[in-house]
Amino acid sequence: MVVEDEQAIRTVVEYALEDAGFEVVSVARGDDALRMIQDQPVDLVILDLMLPGVDGLEVCKRIRAERGTPIIILSARGEELDKVLGLELGADDYVTKPFSPRELVSRVRANLRRARSEPDRGQSLRAGDLEIDPVARTVTRGEEEVHLTFSEFEILHKLASSPRRVFTREELMNHLWEGSFFGDLRSVDVHVRHLRQKVEDDASNPTLIRTVRGVGYAFGADVARV
Ligand code: CA
């Protein structure tokens, strides 16, 4: 589903997706998108932010509250990145305008592949009171469950699977996108910031997810496989 009020962009996106073999429904208004998705579930949503009716952030929030459909935000504004990938919204990806239709199509493919991929079969990882269960895809601290987005979970699990090993931002994004990532590496930093707020005792003085200046990130604690 393409939700975009600018007809020129809508047409380009529709054409690119149909050309790639996807079936596309498109709407120009946020309220129409919400109505339509109730009657006709879709596999993925491409969502503009500035929309008549109900704006894109609200559409994202409401879809996310009900279903796990992958959402790619089309954003003209870099500064929305934080909000979009943030806790409340939990969009899966974003593409900044202007974008190449080819890039958008590969992001759609990557998101669909990711949404359909089998969950990891592996042992749980434990570091202090933090436990990461890759089968149930849950994270707990003591008795408390920590709610992570898909990307936050993947980054945490990747880092904790090889404690002390330094991962570059490129490595982490390529892991998230199964090697097909191209885009803005700053989104790694946004995910890590949110992750720290959820799993660190003191997010401003992180001990689990360490920044390795000029390189990337590493898991800073000992990990037991349980
Ligand atoms: Ca718009």
Distance 127 CA to ligand 1 centre (A): 45
- 107 and 130 both lie in a single domain: no
Distance 51 CA to ligand 1 centre (A): 5
Distance 1 CA to ligand 1 centre (A): 15
Distance 5 CA to ligand 1 centre (A): 5
| Sequence-ordered list of residues with C-beta below 8 angstroms from that of 21, at least 6 positions apart, any chain | none
pLDDT-derived band at 94 (thresholds 50, 70, 90) equals confident
Distance 73 CA to ligand 1 centre (A): 11
- 20 and 104 both lie in a single domain: yes
- 65 and 135 both lie in a single domain: no
What's the pTM?
A: 0.58
Domain boundary at 85, 116, 147, which? Answer: 116
CA 203 to each of CA 67, 208, 213: distance values in angstroms, whole numbers, following the listed order: 30, 10, 17
Per the CB < 8 A criterion, the answer to whether 215 and 166 are in contact is yes
Look at the chain and report how many structural domains it folds into.
2
Distance 171 CA to ligand 1 centre (A): 33
- 129 and 78 both lie in a single domain: no
pLDDT-derived band at 180 (thresholds 50, 70, 90) equals low
Mean pLDDT for the stretch of residues 74-94: 65
Lookup: tokens for 16: 């690119």
CA distance 152 to 93: 12
- 9 and 90 both lie in a single domain: yes
- 168 and 188 both lie in a single domain: yes
- 82 and 135 both lie in a single domain: no
Residue 195, pLDDT > 90, answer yes
Q: C-alpha dihedral over 158, 160, 162, 164, to 10 degrees?
A: 120
